[in-house]
Amino acid sequence: MKKIILIVLLVFNVGITIEAFSQVFDSPPRDGAWDKTHSKDRKVVPYAPVREADVSWYTKIWREISFKEKMNQVFYYPDRSIRDRVSFMQMLMDAIKEGSITVYDNDEFTKPLSFEDMNAQFERTDTIQVEDVDNPGVFNAKEVKRKIDITDIKTIRLKEVQFFDKQRSVMDVRILGICPLLQDRDEKGELKPAYMPMFWIYFPDARPVFAKTELYNPKNGAERRTFDDIFQKRYFSSFIIKEDNTYDRKISEFKTGLDALLEAERIKEYIFDLEHNLWEF
């Protein structure tokens, strides 16, 4: 009986030792002088409550963020995942795949998309001309499938609401949705002028994921910001493409070139002046 108990205890201890060693080998060495827990444990700072009766003015704005601008490069890089940093699109795709973020078909968030439907939008079928080996000089059309890489997405669109809360006496802004935009290529491999919306995500539901994903701070590595910080504190450069209007038209539908830029600037100045004129100095 004592031998049986001794054998059971020996097997139990060996199992614990093997499990401990496996945990040591599974986790890589610490890449730094301390354990990083701040961002992993970050909680979303809730919005201040707003009553409809307290909103004296509001409008909806659509704006675009280009990753090509220097201030916005934190969204695009790193273009490949490293140990503690991922790009904005890589974070989105990982969260969508695991079900943490719901994808929608439009900016009204009325039609959810499955991961398969969303993933299908990253596939393209091109038609190319291939020479017939049996008949030199004769070309036949052939369909070729290609996969769009997330590094091809270099612009995102925001939908937000700007309003004046007379209870708190502040002009506030709340982001409602985010949409990645793809500038696809034609059959000749040249970039098309128009950007195509891929999908929409509802920003308030995605904030917990954003709040736990760090991005690089070139000024101070100890003050690592998250994507939620970037959006909430407006650490990005953007331009307005649409304001809520009677005809539901984008600026590009009735203004072009320099006139479109001036119209976007006019909208921004109007909102600024509206807030400024509320007070006496």
Quick: pLDDT tens for 130-174: 877 777 877 877 777 888 889 999 999 999 999 999 999 999 999
The pLDDT value given to residue 215: 87
Q: Is residue 25 part of a domain?
A: no
Q: Return the exposure string of 96-114: e unless at least 16 CB atoms fall within 10 Å of the residue's CB, then b.
A: beeeebbbbeebebeeebe
pLDDT of 18 strictly over 80: no
How many structural domains is the chain composed of?
1
Q: Is residue 142 part of a domain?
A: no
What is the rounded distance in angstroms from the CA atom of residue 5 to the CA atom of residue 177?
62
pTM over 0.75: yes
The pLDDT value given to residue 14: 46
Q: Is residue 183 part of a domain?
A: yes
Instruction: Give me the helices (H) in 64-182, please.
Output: 73-76, 88-98, 115-120
Quick: pLDDT tens for 58-72: 999 999 999 999 999
> Which tokens hold the place of 104?
């929608």
Find the domain containing 60 and state its range.
Answer: 33-120+150-276
Q: Is residue 24 part of a domain?
A: no
> Which tokens hold the place of 55?
């909103």
Summary mean pLDDT of the chain: 85
More confident residue, 158 or 22: 158
The pLDDT value given to residue 3: 60
Q: Is residue 207 part of a domain?
A: yes
The pLDDT value given to residue 109: 96
